[in-house]
Amino acid sequence: MHPALQGLFTIFLGVGGCIAYFYFSNQFLDKVLFPAKGENIGRNINRANLVRPWLFLFPAMFALGLYLAYPVFATLWYSLTDREQDGAFVGLANYQQMFADPKFWEALQNNMLWLVVVPAASTAFGLLSAQLTDRIKWGAIAKSLIFMPMAISFVGASVIFKLIYDTRPVGQSQIGVLNAVWLQFDGGVGSFLILRLVPGMLMICAAVAALFVVWSMVQTARSGKGGMLPTVLRIVGALILTAIALTALSFAFGAFTKTYNYGVPQTWLTIPGWNSFFLMIVLIWIQTGFAMVILSAALRGIPEETIEAAIVDGANPFQVFFKIKMPQISGTIVVVWTTITLVVLKVFDIVFAMTNGQWETQVLANYMYDKLFRANDWGLGSASAMIIMLLVSPILIWNVYNARKEMR
């Protein structure tokens, strides 16, 4: 059959099937199940009206169950079986093997580091861009340029940054921008400031911020506000943030103690510790535009009267921003932060295209891919997929909870 005819047939079958489903299901409901006649006509009509919305929802619920719920249960089952034993049930053996694998803990540690740096940096740069571009005449052009990386795929962005990090042998001209800059350092004061002090202090600040959030979450959890579920989520979040803070402090220590080879071109993506940050820059570059667009809309939604009143009372621009604007868009900041966090937990393309998890850059999604499609071990691959789902679930539940609270 000609492809055009196949397309028309598919459209006819799909549309016709939907019409037939709704027509015949309503006929069955009104004529057979709850007929509008006899002594119970009023009760039957009420019952039919209660059931009718579920007839409309059933196709969508069935499709979601088939394409979302079923894979979750199937993955859970596969994580409890062993392919080499013809799918025999092995219980938690795959999880025990995974937890004994150093590469898994490397992937988990790297994911925690990504969670510290990428959402914070993307949200901060997005907020800064939103604030600054709203105050200049050519702000629309600036926003377009900042948002443009969102149109580039993760793999395409990885190729671009691979050229930036490119390394040529000693004596040849460096086409990689980073190596061209690196050759200007000689180990002096500038090298200490840029290569040690700045990254070290950034990691310390990130750890302090994470610990402050942990303290706030623990205090709120102790008060018991919001019920059992929010309290449990806060405790889980506090434990995760504590691990993130410890990871950030370890990287800060490494930044101050690492020995650098000045004057020699570096293969940046093979330097453990630093290479993870070079990968994160790609995702920050992409996600900053997303954060800027959402936060810019939130900033524009702040009533001008509030800002004008603060200025009349003598507030300077910093006070207006941090004490007037920030509290009013805090909900939007949380949404942007958690959305980028979900992207980070599932990050795969950038690591796969640039390092493939080598040189201590492994992340959970790439670890899952290696076990599932390279090692052909569906047990370990599914177990790592379940770990990713467990990490993502609290954030999704928290977003749903906040959304419902705002609707109420």
If 0-12 CB within 10 Å is exposed, 13-18 middle and 19+ buried, where does residue 180 land? middle
139 located within any domain: yes
Please indicate, yes or no, whether residues 41 and 111 belong to a single structural domain of this protein: no
Structural domain range at position 384: 99-183+263-407
CA 342, 392, 120: angle at the middle one, nearest 5? 40
pLDDT at residue 25 is higher than 80: yes
pLDDT value of position 224: 65
Q: What is the model's pLDDT at position 183? A: 78
86 pLDDT above the threshold of 80: no
Q: Is residue 189 part of a domain?
A: no
Per the CB < 8 A criterion, the answer to whether 119 and 325 are in contact is no
> What 8-state DSSP symbol labels residue 137?
T
Cα 26 from Cα 28, distance rounded (Å): 5
Distance CA 352, CA 374 (A): 13
- Looking at the fold, whether 287 and 165 belong to one and the same domain comes out as yes
Query: Phi/psi class of residue 258: alpha, beta or left (left: φ > 0; alpha: ψ in -120 to 50)?
Result: beta
Compute the half-sphere exposure of residue 355: CA atoms within 13 Å on the CB side of its CA.
26
Contact between 134 and 300 (Cβ < 8 Å): yes
Same domain, 25 and 140: no
Quick one: which H or E segment has residue 89? strand 88-89
Tokens of 300: 């524009």
What number of residues does the chain have? 408
Whether residues 168 and 298 fall in one domain? yes
In the DSSP assignment, the letter for residue 375 is S
Domain assignment of residue 240, yes or no: no
- 25, 55 Cβ separation under 8 angstroms: yes
C-beta separation of 385 from 371 below 8 A = no
In sequence order, which residues have a C-beta less than 8 Å from that of residue 20 and are 6 or more positions away?
none
Residue 35, in any domain of the structure: yes
Residues 275 and 173 both lie in one domain = yes
Helix (H) or strand (E) holding 255: helix 228-257
pLDDT tens readout for residues 189-202: 777 777 788 888 88
Predicted local confidence at residue 406, as pLDDT:
64
Q: Which residue has tokens 């200490």?
A: 192
pLDDT at 207 over 70: yes
Q: Can you tell me the mean pLDDT for 203-224?
A: 79
Three-state DSSP state, 215: helix
Q: Which residue has the higher pLDDT, 70 or 273?
A: 70
Listed residues 48, 78, 108: the one ending a domain: 78
pLDDT digits (tens, 9 = 90+) for 297-340: 888 888 888 878 878 877 777 777 777 787 788 778 888 888 88
Q: Dihedral sign, CA of 155, 157, 163, 166?
A: negative
Q: What is the mean pLDDT of residues 169-187?
A: 76
Q: Is residue 197 assigned to a domain?
A: no
- Same-domain status, 14 and 69: yes
Residue 225's pLDDT is what?
64
Please report, for the chain, how many H helices and E strands are present, in that order: 19, 2
For residues 236-247, average pLDDT: 80
Question: DSSP characters for 289-337?
Answer: HHHHHHHHHHHHTS-HHHHHHHHHTT--HHHIIIIIIHHHTHHHHHHHH
pLDDT computed for residue 187 by the predictor: 67
Asked whether residue 168 is domain-assigned, the answer is yes
Domain check: are 45 and 111 in the same one? no
Indicate whether 304 and 383 sit together in one domain: yes
Output DSSP code: residue 6.
H
Q: What is the b/e burial string over 268-288, where b = at least 16 CB atoms within 10 angstroms of the residue's CB?
A: bbebebbbbbbbbbbbbbbbb
Q: For 5-24, what is each residue's pLDDT tens digit? A: 888 888 888 788 888 888 88
- Tokens at residue 148, please? 């443009």
Residue 186 φ then ψ, to 5°: -130, 10
- Tell me, yes or no, whether 73 and 118 share the same domain: no
Q: Is 91 helix (H, G, I), strand (E, B) or coil?
A: coil
Q: Is residue 232 part of a domain?
A: no
What tens digit of pLDDT does each residue of 98-150 get?
888 888 888 888 888 888 788 888 888 888 888 888 777 787 888 888 888 88
> Do both 8 and 108 map to the same domain?
no
Instruction: Give the per-residue pLDDT at 307.
Output: 79
Give me the CATH number covering residue 114.
1.10.3720.10
CA-CA distance, 180 to 16, in Å (whole number)?
63
Q: Same structural domain for residues 386 and 302?
A: yes
How many independent structural domains does the chain possess?
2
Angle among Cα 157, 102, 158 to the nearest 5 degrees reads 5
Same domain assignment for residues 125 and 161: yes
In sequence order, what are the beta bridge partners of 88?
A: 82
Query: Considering the domain boundaries, does residue 202 fall inside one?
Result: no
Question: Considering 15, 49, 78, which residue would you say is the last residue of a domain?
Answer: 78
